[in-house]
Amino acid sequence: MYEEDDRDVNVLKSVLPLMSRHAAGYHPISYTVWYEYAKGQHTALHQSVDDELKRQERLSVAQTYFLYTKHLVEPAEQALMTARSGLLDLAEQVKKAVHEVDVDTAGFDTHLNEFQHDLTSAKTIEDLGGHVSTMLAETRRVSEGLGKLSTQLEQSKSEVRRLTDELHRVREDSQIDALSGLLNRRGFDRELQRLFPNAGTQDGALAVIMLDIDHFKVINDTYGHPLGDAVISVVGHLLRECVGQLGVAARYGGEEFAVLLPERPVAAAEDLAQLIRIRVEQGQIRRRKGDAPIGGVTISAGVAAWRGGEDAGSLVERADRALYASKRAGRNRVTVDAG
């Protein structure tokens, strides 16, 4: 986090000049695009912007908004807009069908009154038969309208189910970090809130491991962002392997990761953190297939176990402090919070 603070200041210094060179100007969306571009961690956005700048020196407002929508709008937000539009269309279709049936049934009520009058005034069998035929035709017409409404309602139910399933899928997807394959910060927070009420009253019922790739900025600056992305991907893979079913692993942000271990003592969490540290240190990360591994990729970690009466934020904060104690002590090590 100390390295990250300096980097954020440098990013902010470069954003305003970038914004001033392009048509969207000082708009929040323009700021978001250029901030993420300057930060350099969003590889796809960075590549798209570079491709556009090769074709022309100045991005239009439309291009800036397109880049924002394509790369930065949350999948859940996009799904929400799609679902909202779909449900509004469904509501309009059902309203129209109900209105048509309502008109039909109102007319049917009039026909019933006329039919009753005609029955009392019929003087011959032929008269009666004619009135019955008319009533049967009217009944069929209304029945067809009700059938259409029933079909429309069934179709609407199916569409609502489909949209609900899609929203559920996107909600799950929006909590997965695409680069590491782990939960993202939103997913981590959700799992923390889910597990925390079950921590019970005994100390150590929930442990947190915070991890951070050492000298990640140097890796990016030396080898480029694609290799930095590869490092994050490899670390994510190793975390999934090491944590398995024991707990929940997440990419907490940037080069920082987190693990939740329910019902595990602090010693078990420390052992797991050491295992992850060793696996990362021994990992084989290459720029291209056939290249020699770059070497020197290590990770620091901090461990904290829940104490009775403590809130979730305090638990994570203690693990984070332990992580940065590892950083200050020389990196590539695990520190357990003693508090």
The answer to the question of residue 179 being in a domain is no
Q: Do residue 264 and residue 228 come from a single domain? A: yes
Is the pLDDT score of 133 beyond 90? no
> Mean pLDDT highest for which of 109-123, 183-197, 203-217, 231-245?
231-245
Is the pLDDT score of 154 beyond 90? no
The answer to the question of residue 180 being in a domain is no
> Mean pLDDT highest for which of 57-61, 100-104, 194-198?
57-61
Looking only at the bridges linking them, the beta strands covering 206-213 and 299-305 are antiparallel
Q: Residue 257 forms beta bridges with which residues?
A: 211, 251
Q: Do residue 243 and residue 103 come from a single domain? A: no
* Tens of pLDDT, residues 298-337: 999 999 999 888 889 999 999 999 999 999 999 999 999 9
At 310, which CATH number? 3.30.70.270
The answer to the question of residue 278 being in a domain is yes
Domain count, the chain: 3
Q: Do residue 111 and residue 213 come from a single domain? A: no
Q: Residue 250 forms beta bridges with which residues?
A: 183, 258
Q: Do residue 250 and residue 132 come from a single domain? A: no
Q: Do residue 9 and residue 111 come from a single domain? A: no
Q: Do residue 61 and residue 89 come from a single domain? A: no
Angle at 110 between CA 108 and CA 112, to 5 degrees: 70
Residue type, 51: D
Ordered DSSP codes for 56-97: -SS--HHHHHHHHHHHTS-HHHHHHHHHHHHHHHHHHHHHHH
- pLDDT, mean over the chain: 76
Q: Count CA atoms closer than 13 A to 162's CA, side-chain side.
A: 10
Q: Which pLDDT score, from 0 to 100, does residue 89 have?
A: 64
Domain range for 60 is 2-71
Which of 173, 200, 234 lies at the terminal end of a domain, its last residue? 173
Measure the CA–CA gap between 180 and 230, rounded to whole angstroms.
9
Which of 139, 173, 207 lies at the terminal end of a domain, its last residue? 173
The answer to the question of residue 234 being in a domain is yes
Kindly report each contact of residues 197-206 with a partner whose C-beta sits within 8 Å and lies 24 or more positions away, as own/partner.
Answer: 198/262, 199/262, 199/306, 201/308, 202/308, 203/305, 203/306, 203/307, 203/308, 204/264, 204/265, 204/266, 204/305, 204/306, 205/262, 205/263, 205/306, 206/260, 206/261, 206/262, 206/263, 206/305, 206/306, 206/315
Q: Which pLDDT score, from 0 to 100, does residue 201 have?
A: 46
* Tens of pLDDT, residues 23-47: 776 777 788 888 888 888 788 888 8
Q: Do residue 58 and residue 140 come from a single domain? A: no
pTM score over 0.75: no
Q: Do residue 66 and residue 88 come from a single domain? A: no
Q: Do residue 302 and residue 214 come from a single domain? A: yes
What are the start-end ranges of the H helices in the chain?
A: 2-20, 28-39, 43-55, 61-71, 75-121, 125-173, 185-195, 216-223, 225-243, 266-282, 312-328
Which of 116, 151, 173 lies at the terminal end of a domain, its last residue? 173
